[in-house]
Amino acid sequence: MKDIHKLLQNNRDWADRIEKEDPEFFHQLAKQQHPEYLWIGCSDSRVPANQIIGMAPGEVFVHRNVANVVAHTDLNCLSVVQYAVDQLKVKHILIVGHYGCGGVHACLHNTRVGLADNWLRHVGDVMQKHTAIIDAIETDELKHARLCELNVIEQVANLCRSTIVQDAWARGQKLMVHGWVYSLKDGRVREMGIDVGSQEDLQPAYEKALSYVPRKGRRD
Protein backbone atom coordinates (compact mmCIF):
# COMPACT_ATOMS: atom_id res chain seq x y z
CA MET A 1 0.00 0.00 0.00
CA LYS A 2 2.95 2.32 0.50
CA ASP A 3 3.43 2.50 -3.28
CA ILE A 4 -0.22 3.49 -3.78
CA HIS A 5 0.00 6.13 -1.04
CA LYS A 6 3.07 7.53 -2.79
CA LEU A 7 1.09 7.86 -6.03
CA LEU A 8 -1.73 9.64 -4.22
CA GLN A 9 0.75 12.03 -2.64
CA ASN A 10 2.35 12.60 -6.05
CA ASN A 11 -1.09 13.51 -7.39
CA ARG A 12 -1.72 16.00 -4.60
CA ASP A 13 1.71 17.56 -5.08
CA TRP A 14 1.16 17.83 -8.83
CA ALA A 15 -2.30 19.36 -8.48
CA ASP A 16 -1.03 21.89 -5.94
CA ARG A 17 1.89 22.84 -8.17
CA ILE A 18 -0.31 23.32 -11.23
CA GLU A 19 -2.79 25.37 -9.22
CA LYS A 20 -0.02 27.70 -8.11
CA GLU A 21 1.46 28.00 -11.60
CA ASP A 22 -1.88 28.55 -13.34
CA PRO A 23 -4.94 29.12 -11.11
CA GLU A 24 -7.27 28.83 -14.14
CA PHE A 25 -5.81 25.54 -15.44
CA PHE A 26 -8.30 23.07 -13.96
CA HIS A 27 -11.23 25.43 -14.46
CA GLN A 28 -10.47 25.66 -18.18
CA LEU A 29 -9.64 21.95 -18.48
CA ALA A 30 -12.99 20.93 -17.02
CA LYS A 31 -15.02 22.96 -19.52
CA GLN A 32 -14.53 20.88 -22.69
CA GLN A 33 -11.83 19.15 -24.65
CA HIS A 34 -10.95 20.43 -28.13
CA PRO A 35 -7.96 18.32 -29.23
CA GLU A 36 -6.74 18.54 -32.80
CA TYR A 37 -4.82 15.28 -32.52
CA LEU A 38 -5.63 11.62 -31.95
CA TRP A 39 -2.62 9.53 -30.91
CA ILE A 40 -2.79 5.78 -31.49
CA GLY A 41 0.26 4.28 -29.83
CA CYS A 42 1.71 1.35 -27.96
CA SER A 43 0.84 0.61 -24.33
CA ASP A 44 4.55 0.61 -23.45
CA SER A 45 5.08 2.73 -20.32
CA ARG A 46 8.16 4.38 -21.86
CA VAL A 47 6.12 6.09 -24.59
CA PRO A 48 4.03 8.92 -23.04
CA ALA A 49 2.04 10.59 -25.80
CA ASN A 50 1.63 14.13 -24.45
CA GLN A 51 5.22 14.48 -23.29
CA ILE A 52 6.75 13.25 -26.53
CA ILE A 53 5.04 15.94 -28.59
CA GLY A 54 5.05 18.62 -25.90
CA MET A 55 1.27 18.86 -25.50
CA ALA A 56 -0.68 19.71 -22.35
CA PRO A 57 -3.63 17.70 -20.96
CA GLY A 58 -6.68 18.24 -23.15
CA GLU A 59 -4.69 18.71 -26.36
CA VAL A 60 -4.31 15.06 -27.43
CA PHE A 61 -6.95 12.33 -27.53
CA VAL A 62 -5.18 9.01 -26.89
CA HIS A 63 -5.70 5.32 -27.62
CA ARG A 64 -3.04 2.76 -26.76
CA ASN A 65 -2.74 -0.98 -27.20
CA VAL A 66 0.00 -3.59 -27.47
CA ALA A 67 2.10 -2.84 -30.59
CA ASN A 68 -0.11 0.07 -31.77
CA VAL A 69 -2.38 -2.09 -33.90
CA VAL A 70 -5.42 -0.83 -35.82
CA ALA A 71 -7.58 -3.89 -36.48
CA HIS A 72 -10.91 -3.66 -38.26
CA THR A 73 -12.42 -6.02 -35.66
CA ASP A 74 -11.24 -3.96 -32.65
CA LEU A 75 -14.35 -2.04 -31.60
CA ASN A 76 -12.44 -0.37 -28.78
CA CYS A 77 -9.97 1.29 -31.13
CA LEU A 78 -12.60 2.05 -33.76
CA SER A 79 -14.91 3.61 -31.15
CA VAL A 80 -12.09 5.94 -30.10
CA VAL A 81 -11.42 6.84 -33.74
CA GLN A 82 -15.10 7.43 -34.44
CA TYR A 83 -15.52 9.71 -31.42
CA ALA A 84 -12.34 11.60 -32.25
CA VAL A 85 -13.26 12.09 -35.91
CA ASP A 86 -17.04 12.58 -35.74
CA GLN A 87 -17.45 14.34 -32.39
CA LEU A 88 -14.14 16.01 -31.56
CA LYS A 89 -13.31 16.78 -35.21
CA VAL A 90 -9.61 16.08 -34.81
CA LYS A 91 -7.51 17.18 -37.76
CA HIS A 92 -4.65 14.71 -37.42
CA ILE A 93 -4.39 11.06 -36.41
CA LEU A 94 -0.90 9.94 -35.41
CA ILE A 95 -0.13 6.22 -35.45
CA VAL A 96 3.04 5.96 -33.42
CA GLY A 97 5.15 2.85 -32.95
CA HIS A 98 8.46 2.71 -31.16
CA TYR A 99 11.78 0.99 -31.65
CA GLY A 100 12.37 -1.71 -29.06
CA CYS A 101 8.69 -2.73 -28.99
CA GLY A 102 8.26 -5.96 -27.02
CA GLY A 103 5.28 -7.08 -29.08
CA VAL A 104 7.19 -6.69 -32.32
CA HIS A 105 10.14 -8.55 -30.79
CA ALA A 106 7.88 -11.45 -29.80
CA CYS A 107 6.58 -11.75 -33.37
CA LEU A 108 10.02 -11.51 -34.92
CA HIS A 109 11.40 -14.31 -32.74
CA ASN A 110 8.20 -16.37 -32.48
CA THR A 111 8.22 -15.98 -28.71
CA ARG A 112 5.07 -16.94 -26.81
CA VAL A 113 3.92 -14.34 -24.29
CA GLY A 114 0.42 -15.62 -23.45
CA LEU A 115 -3.02 -14.38 -24.44
CA ALA A 116 -1.44 -11.45 -26.29
CA ASP A 117 -0.06 -13.94 -28.85
CA ASN A 118 -3.48 -13.87 -30.51
CA TRP A 119 -3.48 -10.07 -30.68
CA LEU A 120 0.08 -10.02 -32.00
CA ARG A 121 -0.95 -12.13 -34.95
CA HIS A 122 -1.76 -8.79 -36.58
CA VAL A 123 1.94 -7.88 -36.39
CA GLY A 124 2.83 -11.40 -37.50
CA ASP A 125 0.70 -10.84 -40.60
CA VAL A 126 2.70 -7.69 -41.35
CA MET A 127 5.93 -9.66 -41.03
CA GLN A 128 4.70 -12.38 -43.37
CA LYS A 129 3.51 -9.80 -45.89
CA HIS A 130 6.96 -8.21 -45.98
CA THR A 131 9.12 -11.32 -45.60
CA ALA A 132 11.32 -10.28 -48.52
CA ILE A 133 12.26 -6.99 -46.85
CA ILE A 134 12.85 -8.53 -43.42
CA ASP A 135 14.91 -11.45 -44.76
CA ALA A 136 17.19 -9.11 -46.71
CA ILE A 137 18.26 -7.25 -43.56
CA GLU A 138 21.46 -8.41 -41.91
CA THR A 139 21.08 -8.21 -38.13
CA ASP A 140 18.28 -9.05 -35.70
CA GLU A 141 18.41 -5.54 -34.27
CA LEU A 142 17.82 -3.98 -37.68
CA LYS A 143 15.13 -6.55 -38.55
CA HIS A 144 13.35 -5.51 -35.37
CA ALA A 145 13.58 -1.82 -36.24
CA ARG A 146 12.33 -2.40 -39.76
CA LEU A 147 9.38 -4.49 -38.55
CA CYS A 148 8.44 -1.66 -36.15
CA GLU A 149 8.39 0.67 -39.16
CA LEU A 150 6.49 -1.71 -41.44
CA ASN A 151 3.93 -2.30 -38.73
CA VAL A 152 3.22 1.44 -38.48
CA ILE A 153 2.91 1.77 -42.25
CA GLU A 154 0.41 -1.10 -42.40
CA GLN A 155 -1.63 0.24 -39.47
CA VAL A 156 -1.89 3.62 -41.20
CA ALA A 157 -3.21 1.84 -44.28
CA ASN A 158 -5.68 -0.13 -42.13
CA LEU A 159 -7.01 3.02 -40.51
CA CYS A 160 -7.32 4.85 -43.82
CA ARG A 161 -9.43 1.98 -45.17
CA SER A 162 -11.83 2.08 -42.21
CA THR A 163 -15.38 3.28 -42.84
CA ILE A 164 -14.88 6.06 -40.28
CA VAL A 165 -11.99 7.71 -42.10
CA GLN A 166 -13.42 6.97 -45.54
CA ASP A 167 -16.74 8.61 -44.60
CA ALA A 168 -14.95 11.65 -43.16
CA TRP A 169 -13.06 12.16 -46.40
CA ALA A 170 -16.21 11.57 -48.48
CA ARG A 171 -17.98 14.44 -46.72
CA GLY A 172 -15.01 16.73 -47.20
CA GLN A 173 -13.72 16.72 -43.62
CA LYS A 174 -10.09 17.77 -43.29
CA LEU A 175 -8.31 14.81 -41.76
CA MET A 176 -4.71 13.65 -42.09
CA VAL A 177 -3.31 10.30 -40.95
CA HIS A 178 0.42 10.09 -40.19
CA GLY A 179 2.83 7.25 -39.43
CA TRP A 180 5.67 7.79 -36.95
CA VAL A 181 8.13 5.67 -34.99
CA TYR A 182 9.55 6.94 -31.71
CA SER A 183 13.10 6.15 -30.57
CA LEU A 184 13.72 5.40 -26.91
CA LYS A 185 17.41 6.12 -27.49
CA ASP A 186 17.10 9.84 -28.17
CA GLY A 187 13.43 10.74 -27.62
CA ARG A 188 12.91 11.75 -31.23
CA VAL A 189 10.23 10.70 -33.69
CA ARG A 190 11.04 9.37 -37.16
CA GLU A 191 8.52 10.04 -39.92
CA MET A 192 7.71 7.00 -42.03
CA GLY A 193 6.91 9.05 -45.10
CA ILE A 194 3.23 8.15 -45.02
CA ASP A 195 0.90 11.13 -44.57
CA VAL A 196 -2.57 10.56 -46.01
CA GLY A 197 -5.32 13.12 -46.43
CA SER A 198 -7.66 11.45 -48.94
CA GLN A 199 -8.55 8.11 -50.46
CA GLU A 200 -6.62 9.08 -53.58
CA ASP A 201 -3.48 9.77 -51.52
CA LEU A 202 -3.42 6.39 -49.81
CA GLN A 203 -1.85 4.08 -52.38
CA PRO A 204 0.88 6.48 -53.55
CA ALA A 205 1.75 7.34 -49.94
CA TYR A 206 1.82 3.66 -48.98
CA GLU A 207 4.11 2.74 -51.85
CA LYS A 208 6.40 5.70 -51.13
CA ALA A 209 6.66 4.74 -47.45
CA LEU A 210 7.61 1.16 -48.35
CA SER A 211 10.27 2.42 -50.73
CA TYR A 212 11.77 4.51 -47.92
CA VAL A 213 12.17 1.57 -45.53
CA PRO A 214 15.97 1.17 -45.27
CA ARG A 215 17.34 -2.15 -46.48
CA LYS A 216 20.71 -1.33 -44.95
CA GLY A 217 21.90 0.87 -42.11
CA ARG A 218 19.85 2.65 -39.49
CA ARG A 219 16.99 5.09 -39.32
CA ASP A 220 16.43 4.70 -35.57
Q: Is 107 a catalytic residue?
A: no
* Catalytic position from the list 98, 130, 144, 190: 98
Instruction: Write down the catalytic residue from 5, 27, 46, 171.
Output: 46
Catalytic, 101? Answer yes
Q: Which of 42, 77, 107, 160 is catalytic?
A: 42
* C-alpha span between 112 and 74 (Å, rounded): 22
Give dist(CA 192, CA 156) in Å, integer: 10
Q: Which of 44, 77, 105, 178 is catalytic?
A: 44
77, 101, 107, 148: which is the annotated catalytic residue? 101
Name every residue whose Cβ is closer than 8 Å to that of residue 137 and which is 6 or more positions away in sequence. 143, 146, 215, 216
Q: Is 64 a catalytic residue?
A: no
> What DSSP letter does each residue of 75-104 carry, written as one string?
HHHHHHHHIIIIIS--SEEEEEEETT-HHH
Measuring CA to CA, which residue among 183, 202, 210, 177 is closest to residue 39? 177
Q: What angle do CA 45, 50, 56 make, to 5 degrees?
A: 140
Separation of alpha carbons 147 and 73, rounded Å = 22
* Residue 23 DSSP label: T
**Which active-site residues does the annotation give?**
42, 44, 46, 98, 101
